[in-house]
Structure 1
């Protein structure tokens, strides 16, 4: 997801470093998820991954690479990195909601548009919401959308 957008404007971190960092952190998150699913007798169908900022990057990194699809991924004010290893026929394709503010000084709203395009190319059902005038935070409307999105996803998985 770097086409046409200068990601280095995001911070002093090079895009390759973001990709490498996400890939390096993913196994620890996957292990944690595996332990918790087993501990509570749950499956990926019972799991929604929600993240903010770097948490969005990790939610997408992990959620798009689990062996079985999670119920949903919700990402607030974040980035999708490292899609080069993902193929349309191999991605588990959980539904994804991305929410971003137009006034975000940390992660520009263009990151939402880039992620949306990449996810669509992978065949992932992606829903987006742009919060006018909102900075690097989550507004009440975004929280309500996330709650509704996860609730709908859980309902769809159970039927």
Structure 2
């Protein structure tokens, strides 16, 4: 049985959710690390509920934080095995959150950072029906040891994907973005990407704006840039 997870929430600005955006935090953090983005994005997505669940495990390297799976950097397959092990917990959470709101899979978007991006891509590409969109910050598409080119997802339509990365990322080098984008293209998953000059392992304002506009476009939400609209 999958472990139960939960975390901080921001309700739709309109009061009636038509979309659901799930934030998946990085290694050693928790849901509080990303939920503020939901508050910033309410103006772009007024009909979206935002939820940032805490990962199911305590982090060995940061006892106050959480992890989706352990990272030792000593085993080349640990990311792959970790994603597989954590996926049932995340899938169960997504199913429950969608059902609670009476929303279908195409009302869902996943937004990850670092290890959360690994989970967003791994899980989102394997849902029975693809989420509408996946935004991955400072992460990488985890490929199986026997699937160097990536497995082809059986989703029609596939999710739209945006990958954003800092050019100076010291944790997950920027080459990971290019590898991920190429693998997704080979899998016929429509992918956009954004590079932030001078940025390390993090998210900057440009990346946040790109992410918000990408989700609005993916959901077909018109963004009003007038003072009244904002």
TM-score (norm 2): 0.61
Deviates more, 1:133-142 or 1:147-156: 147-156
- For 1:53 and 1:137, the matched residues in 2 are separated by 9
Where does structure 2 lack aligned partners over 5 or more consecutive residues? 1-70, 222-230
Query: Which stretches of structure 1, 4 residues or more, deviate above 6 A after TM superposition?
Result: none
Larger radius of gyration: 2
Q: How does 1:58-69 map to 2 (within 5 A)?
A: 58-69=119-130
Larger relative contact order, structure 1 or 2 (CA cutoff 8 Å, min sep 6): 1
Q: CA deviation at 1:44?
A: 1.1
- For 2:140 and 2:118, the matched residues in 1 are separated by 5
Please give the root-mean-square deviation of Cα atoms over the aligned residues, in Å: 1.7
How many residues end up aligned between the 2 structures?
146
What is the aligned partner in structure 2 of residue 19 from structure 1? Answer: 80
Q: 2:191 aligns with which of 126, 147, 158?
A: 126
Q: CA deviation at 1:125?
A: 0.2
- For 2:189 and 2:127, the matched residues in 1 are separated by 14
In terms of fraction of residues, the more helix-rich structure is 1
- For 2:92 and 2:116, the matched residues in 1 are separated by 16
- For 1:118 and 1:65, the matched residues in 2 are separated by 15
What is the aligned partner in structure 2 of residue 146 from structure 1? Answer: 211
What is the aligned partner in structure 2 of residue 95 from structure 1? Answer: 160
Q: Does 1:105 align with 2:170?
A: yes
Mark the CA change 1:11 to 1:142 in structure 2 (over 3 Å): closer, same or farther.
farther
